[in-house]
Amino acid sequence: MRIALKSPLEIEAMRRAGRVVRQTLDRCRGLARPGVTTAQLDQLAWETFTAAGAVGLFKNYPTYEEGQGFPGHTCISVNDEVVHGIPGPRVLCAGDVVSIDCGVRFDGWCGDSAITVALEPAPPELRELIRVTEETLRLAIRLIRPHLRWSDVAGPMQQYVEQHGFSCVREFVGHGIGRRMHEDPKVPNFVSPEFLNRDDFYLREGMTLAIEPMVIRGRPEVAVSADGWTVVTRDHSCAAHVEHTVAVTRRGCEILTNGN
């Protein structure tokens, strides 16, 4: 495993990519309401980051050859869809839990972030699912500092989710990010024996990571649906997913996708 450390100038360039992602997700959040289709959200995202001069990282992923790979500009995952949902004609309804994931490259550097919104009126248990997922990400961001191992952060993230009676997705994890969307290391939201034995790493100043808790109301098992992309919960309970790209600093970390 080789983890590339970024210079302050490189981190500043990633922050510019992060600003475009933030602007895109903010506009999508503003449009997300009952009666809107996921394709409309996807179109708005594409228009927003394209107007800003950025290129989307999801369309045609992973080969980026025209007509191949992922069909959307964003991933939009509704209710029992966890991640990698394909935007399309689905009309959103009140009570839906909608996660929108957006990644762009701007001036050669990547940003990746996701939000989950409940379309009101939504039942309190779904708002609680989203609150816990967001708080899990905030917890990680508060804990990160050099010389800790990632498992020192992932353990408390998992504990926080499970304390609330929810489950962490095991099959998908966060990742290093930089000139490419997916770099080393793997950044899970839980601790497994395999991770402790093989993939755990020490946090160092200059690491740039995409941290993305995926939390399920019910059991942790997921499956990929027939479209080949959309990850759904096996028990059809709702899931939430939030993500920030962060840079490890001397004393902690800073968020690169919060619009600052």
Query: Binding residues for Mg ion, per CB under 5 A?
Result: 101, 112, 114, 210, 243
Q: What are phi and psi of 220, to 5 degrees?
A: -75, -10
Six-digit token pair at 64? Answer: 């980026």
Compute the Cα dihedral for 63, 222, 115, 96 and give only its sign.
positive
Q: 3-state DSSP call for residue 135?
A: helix
State in angstroms the smallest separation of the CB of 156 from Mg ion: 20
Of the pair 11, 102, the CB lying nearest Mg ion is at 102
DSSP-derived letter for residue 52 is: T
What is the closest distance, in whole angstroms, from the C-beta atom of residue 114 to Mg ion in the complex? 5
Is 213 or 220 the residue whose CB approaches Mg ion more closely?
Answer: 213
Give 44 or 173: the residue with its C-beta nearer to Mg ion.
173
**Token pair belonging to 143:** 């804990």
Least gap, CB of 165 to Mg ion (angstroms): 26
Closer to Mg ion by Cβ: residue 42 or 112: 112
Q: How far is the CB of 210 from Mg ion (least distance, A)?
A: 4
CA–CA separation, 125 vs 131, rounded Å?
10
Determine the Cα angle at 182 with ends 134 and 155, to 5°. 45
